Amino acid sequence: MGNITQEGLNKLKGQLHELKTKGRGDMAKQIAEARDKGDLSENAEYDAAKEAQGLMEMKIAKLENTIAQARVLDESQIDTGQVSIMTIIRIKHLKTKKEFTYTLVAEEESDFPNGKLSVLSPIGKGLLGKKIGETADIEVPAGIMTYEILDIKPSW
């Protein structure tokens, strides 16, 4: 884990709380219902519920670890003179001339359909450190894409 916004940390804490309360409660209910159906040695529903419980507990442990290691970003330390985490960038795809606007965020906060681009994604990595007017050649599965940085703003 690494840097994360306060909003992102709050979202992770909310997910953890949901899993520990409602998730565990629902899981206990499923296991009890499956157990009530008879012989546990031949009860596929019981086995599936126990496996799902194990996966959920692994997810809880991973979230707890992520939250414990998270460092909340200090917005005053973010350089908006170049593309960096927590900046809103407007870029132009030079071949198609289409413009896109993204907020660069930590991997855990990535939400591409809502314009939140992970700094660990190929495009995010390729844009980091660039300044307005510069171009970036980014290798993606479809080939090389060239973007021009049109604008950089703080996201707060």
Q: Tell me, what's the pLDDT at 102?
A: 93
Q: Is pLDDT at 70 greater than 90 in this prediction?
A: no
Q: Tell me, what's the pLDDT at 132?
A: 92
Average pLDDT over residues 53-68: 90
Q: Is residue 59 domain-shared with residue 82, that is, in the same domain?
A: no
Q: Is residue 88 domain-shared with residue 123, that is, in the same domain?
A: yes
Q: Is residue 88 domain-shared with residue 53, that is, in the same domain?
A: no
Average pLDDT, the chain: 86
Structure tokens at 66: 């992520």
Q: Tell me, what's the pLDDT at 75?
A: 64
Q: Is residue 86 domain-shared with residue 146, that is, in the same domain?
A: yes
Confidence of residue 39 (pLDDT cuts 50, 70, 90): confident
Q: Is residue 42 domain-shared with residue 84, that is, in the same domain?
A: no
Q: Is residue 49 domain-shared with residue 106, that is, in the same domain?
A: no
CATH number of 112's domain: 3.10.50.30
CB atoms within 10 A of CB 13: 13
pLDDT one-digit tens code per residue, 114-140: 999 988 899 999 998 899 999 999 988
Q: Is pLDDT at 8 greater than 80 in this prediction?
A: no
Residues 81 and 88: their CA atoms lie apart, in Å, by: 11
Q: Is residue 18 domain-shared with residue 50, that is, in the same domain?
A: yes
**Bridge-partner residues for 100, per DSSP?**
91
Q: Choose the weakest-confidence range: 19-28, 80-89, 95-104.
A: 80-89
- Among 44, 72, 100, the domain-final residue is 72
Give me the number of domains the chain comprises.
2
Q: Tell me which residue range forms the domain holding 100.
A: 75-154
Element (DSSP H or E) covering residue 126: helix 122-127
Q: Is residue 86 domain-shared with residue 110, that is, in the same domain?
A: yes
Confidence of residue 1 (pLDDT cuts 50, 70, 90): very low
